[in-house]
Amino acid sequence: MTGEALALLAAFSFGLSSVAIAKGAQTSGGQSGVFLSAIMTGLLAGSAWLIFDYGSQTADSWPTALIAIAWFVASGVLATIGGRLTMFKSIEFAGVIRASTTRRLMPLMSLFLGWLILSEQVSGLAGTGMALIAASFLLLYWDNRAKLKISTDDPAQRSLISRGLAFGVVSAFLYATSFIARKFGLVDLPSAFFGALIGALTAIFYYAAAATVSREYRSIVAGALKAPNPWQLLAAFLMSVGQIAQFGALMHTGAGRVAFINSVEVYISAFLAVIVFKTEPMPGRSIFIAMVLATVGVVLMAL
């Protein structure tokens, strides 16, 4: 249950970071928060690696470590660059609600890729839990669909939405593939701290390189490096904890299981926003039922 517990910690951290981002959204940009979280992840994971894991590598093991580093860099490129950029395109063309529904494909894709590439097996109890989580997202999809205000009668608009949904599917696939790359890296070098450190450095290098050619990215980097507000700092810290916990979870259990448990982040953030911080109104019956199904599903997977 260690892997499942770490995956749930990651989901809780990501969910709470979403609420913190929403609280500080009036004065802080979301992209700046992501860059700040990469810096903080590098500091936290790097310090933990130096303290706990640094001496575990010998001269003979470094060729294998270099292969692991390549996998960790690949996972950072897939998630931080490819996954995030295609998700932004999906939101631009299809809107937030439609784009969010395509992201729910990521756990299913992770499970399939884990079975196809890593030969991961799923027990009957875990499979039942995954089915309940999948059912919860179907309820979420239908609830969102009922609330859509945008008319799709215009053929040009339908074409843009279709393009946005395609970007969303590609984004989900890239994120799912990043889980597989992390898993391969952890097989060669089983250090969650080192994996998180390399992923963070990859993200930092990407933002720094983009800032040299893009005014938008220069603004993002400047926004993160200037004095951030407390909510932005809290969000960055929680995202860092989530990323490190996610790497730790992948060391102990399958990529598909981690992805499914991480996917309940949307319900955790909704619960925190409604009950704890009271920044959102009480959800309807469909959302409540979906949250219950997802919770039972996670419990079954943990068992």
Per-residue pLDDT in tens (0 to 9) along the chain, 303 residues: 688 889 989 988 888 887 777 666 555 555 677 788 888 989 999 998 888 876 665 545 667 888 999 999 999 899 878 887 787 777 677 765 566 667 667 887 888 888 888 888 877 887 888 788 888 777 776 766 665 555 555 666 667 777 877 888 898 899 889 999 999 999 888 888 999 999 999 989 998 999 999 888 888 888 777 767 787 788 888 888 988 999 999 988 888 888 888 877 777 777 777 777 666 666 667 767 777 787 777 777 766
Q: What is the pTM of this model?
A: 0.80
- Residue 279 has a pLDDT of 63
Q: Which pLDDT score, from 0 to 100, does residue 293 have?
A: 80
pLDDT at 107 (0 to 100): 80
The pLDDT value given to residue 25: 58
Rounded distance, CA 54 to CA 156, Å? 56
Q: CA of 207: how far to CAs of 45, 50, 160, 214, 279, in Å?
A: 19, 25, 28, 10, 31
**From CA 90, how far away is CA 173, in angstroms rounded?**
13
Q: How far apart are CA 245 and CA 236, in angstroms?
A: 14
Q: What angle do CA 79, 85, 89 make, to 5 degrees?
A: 140
Question: Rounded to whole angstroms, how far apart are CA atoms 136 and 125?
Answer: 17
pLDDT at 184: 93
- Name every residue whose Cβ is closer than 8 Å to that of residue 124 and which is 6 or more positions away in sequence: none
